[in-house]
Structure 1
Amino acid sequence: MRGTRYTAEFKAEAIKQITERGHGVVEVSKRLGVSDKSLYAWLKQSQQDDLPNAKDLVALKLELQRMKAELKRTTKERDILKKAAAYFAKLSD
């Protein structure tokens, strides 16, 4: 079976059998007729694909900083509005 190309769907299903269903690599390789070396390589590749790259991490960090600043500003605005509401409620009594 040297040089056989497998579809992405086939690889994903093979990996799913190992990761989600708990079957062993050797068992899946025998059942599917694929070398266990190939399955290990596909498994390693899928784990690397799941990890965010450096650009994504930087973008996420910047977004987190922006959202923290926005939350801080919004919290201050809310506190000011609470005080104003209490003040005007006191005046109307």
Structure 2
Amino acid sequence: MAGERYNEEFKIAAVKQVTEHGYSIADVAQRLGITTKSLYNWRDRYGENAQAYHEKQSSHEELRKLKAELKRVTEERDILKEAAVFFAAESKKNTRS
């Protein structure tokens, strides 16, 4: 079943078997034919700690956006610096004539 995609309902039902019914992750994973790693990930995403998971994800997304914006602004600044140097040199050439 490698690479198979499961719908959200399936994932939530699998997590409920662990969180609400008390089955072990290894037992549920084996019965459903999924990896324990997948079930641990789903538990983080849909289980009791889902709020903390979503906050962490939104923090990562915000950080990614801020890094992209910083990169863009830094590139713009560098272009403007080069333009200022160019126009200053052109201005000096024109005043000497």
TM-score by length of structure 2 reads 0.49
Runs (5+) with no aligned partner, structure 2 = 56-97
Partner in structure 1 of residue 40 of structure 2: 40
* Aligned residue type for 1:19: T
Give the distance between the partners of 1:29 and 1:49, measured in 2 at CA: 19
Partner in structure 1 of residue 21 of structure 2: 21
* Aligned residue type for 1:10: F
Runs (5+) with no aligned partner, structure 1 = 54-93
* Aligned residue type for 2:25: V
* Aligned residue type for 1:29: A
C-alpha deviation, 1:45, in angstroms: 1.5
Q: Which runs of 4+ in 1 moved over 3 A?
A: none
Partner in structure 1 of residue 51 of structure 2: 50
User: Which structure is higher in RCO with an 8 Å CA cutoff and minimum separation 6?
Assistant: 2
**Matched residues, number:** 54
Give the distance between the partners of 2:50 and 2:20, measured in 1 at CA: 17
